[in-house]
Amino acid sequence: MKIDILSIFPEMFTPLNQSMIGKAQEKGLITIETHDFRDFADNKQRHVDDMPYGGGQGMLLMPQPIFDCLDNFPHENARVILLDPAGETFSQQKAKELSTENQLVFICGHYEGFDERIKTLVTDEISLGDYVLTGGEAAAVVMIDAITRLIPGVLGKEASHEDDSFSSGLLEYPQYTRPEDFRGLKVPDVLLSGHHENIRKWRLKESLKKTMERRPDLLETYSLTQEARDLLKH
């Protein structure tokens, strides 16, 4: 996957060179390239924003630097994603959908928003959540993390995303590692039993309980098996 990021703060994306995403780039599974659209501003002061027509607070990103920056690299058939609080709320399902694309382009705005004409370039307007950030960069880092970890080979054999919270449709069950007893806090006996069927049932019940307590909305779209219904009753 090729990921192009339009931002006037390219240094905000260095976290993507660390850890598993950094390794995925070294393995050639993904290529991340940042483009500073300030380099494409056609004014001497290199301004990329201006006051809104009609008055009002704040500054808006001008269309010209964004359009010319986007014209500067191939992006046919790419999903062009505008980070905007007014966009569709990002989700694991959206991450899964975008993880199958060959190229993603992220347009990260600052200040108070975008000239509306920028949206003619865009295939998806996506928000990280119902809050307003100083810029789209932090949101893009989170989305790229969530998307690229789903690309086969990125997580490597030592980790997988099949049982992730949300991927399975339920919140993840409680997990434990060594030691068995840490300051009197013990690992549940079932996990030490080696009885795989009992462990599977315990994990399903714990996922259902946690989901029911914290995110009952997820159960509206989760197709409960008879076993899951029985486990929820007891």
List of residues contacting ligand 4H4 (CB under 6 A): 83-86, 109-110, 112-113, 127-129, 131-133, 135-136, 139
Is residue 176 within 8 A of residue 187, CB to CB? The reply is: yes
Nearest-approach distance from CB 69 to ligand 4H4, in angstroms: 17
Task: Return the half-sphere exposure (C-beta side, CA atoms, 13 A cut-off) of residue 135.
Answer: 16
Nearest-approach distance from CB 61 to ligand 4H4, in angstroms: 9
Hey, what long-range contacts does 177-185 have (CB within 8 A, 24 or more apart)? none
Q: Residue 227: enclosing H or E segment and its boundaries?
A: helix 226-233
Residue (106 or 202) nearer to ligand 4H4, CB = 106
Is residue 218 within 8 A of residue 168, CB to CB? The reply is: no
Catalytic annotation, residues: 85, 112, 149, 164
Give the phi and the psi of residue 183 in degrees, each rounded to 5: 55, 40
CA atoms of 153 and 163, how far apart (whole Å):
16
- Rounded to the nearest 10°, the torsion over CA 139, 143, 144, 150 is 170
Nearest-approach distance from CB 95 to ligand 4H4, in angstroms: 14
Is residue 5 within 8 A of residue 35, CB to CB? The reply is: yes
Q: Residue 69: enclosing H or E segment and its boundaries?
A: helix 63-70
Residue (127 or 211) nearer to ligand 4H4, CB = 127
Residue (69 or 139) nearer to ligand 4H4, CB = 139
Is residue 227 within 8 A of residue 204, CB to CB? The reply is: yes
Nearest-approach distance from CB 87 to ligand 4H4, in angstroms: 7
Residue (63 or 169) nearer to ligand 4H4, CB = 63
- Alpha carbon 59 to its chain's center: 27
Residue (23 or 38) nearer to ligand 4H4, CB = 38
Nearest-approach distance from CB 45 to ligand 4H4, in angstroms: 21
Q: Residue 12 is encoded by which pair of tokens?
A: 């905000």
